[in-house]
Amino acid sequence: MGDIAKELRERSLQAEQEGEPLALLDEAADEIERLRLTDEEREALRCAVCDYNSMTRMMHKPTHGEIGAALARLFERLK
């Protein structure tokens, strides 16, 4: 998927030029941009996942592995 915020803004501009303002598209794009992680936040999350997984391997607790896997999936989804 491409940059959905950019796509929403382009469609909003096109609709406005055609006389059909769609403020909802701009609001959706604003919300997507607000929720998008920065490079620094993604790196911090990646480091936290690695540290958590390293720590839990030493503790030998299976439930911690599930949490680590969930964190890793979250990190991948937020890229």
Read off the pLDDT of residues 28-64 as tens digits, 9 standing for 90 and up: 888 888 888 888 988 888 888 888 778 777 766 666 6
Mapped onto helix, strand or coil, the DSSP state of residue 19 is: coil
Note whether 73 and 45 are within 8 A (CB): no
Q: Is pLDDT at 1 greater than 60 in this prediction? A: no
More confident of the two residues 2 and 6: 6
Cβ density class 50-72: b for 16+ within 10 Å, e for less: eeebeebeeeeeeebeeebeebb
Residue 66's pLDDT is 77
Tell me the domain boundaries of the chain. 4-35, 39-77
Residue 2's pLDDT is 66
